[in-house]
Amino acid sequence: SVAGTFLFADVMYWPLGDASGFELQDIVAWSAAAGRSVRGGPFSVIASVLGTTPVIAGVPAPVQAGAGVGYRTASGRSLYVSALAGLTRSAPDVAIGLGWQVPLR
């Protein structure tokens, strides 16, 4: 967290192996996001970008960007909804995400 803004980053290496008829490349998946609560209340907003290195030679790497909103209850549980748009032809045109967070304590 920096000045009330939450910053997220993630990098993963995936050895995909090969499917019959396709030679898949091992990939690096990555994402970055920034989020912030709205006026210190229960609602929050987040913007994100994510993608991978190319999966198949000659096909552009998939990249998506999106935004979401979250709501945190007094008990600490949170519900999130996000929408992403594909920025390259190998990414889905639209993706919708739902998340639910429950504190462990």
Q: What is the pLDDT along the chain (105 residues), one digit of tens a residue?
A: 788 899 999 999 999 887 788 788 999 999 999 999 998 889 999 999 999 999 988 999 999 999 999 999 999 899 999 999 999 999 999 999 999 999 887
Strand partners, 96: 83
Q: Cβ–Cβ contacts within 10 Å for residue 68, how many?
A: 20
pLDDT value of position 21? 81
Q: How far apart are CA 29 and CA 4, in angstroms?
A: 27
Q: How far apart are CA 84 and CA 70, in angstroms?
A: 15
DSSP state for residue 57 in the 8-state scheme: T
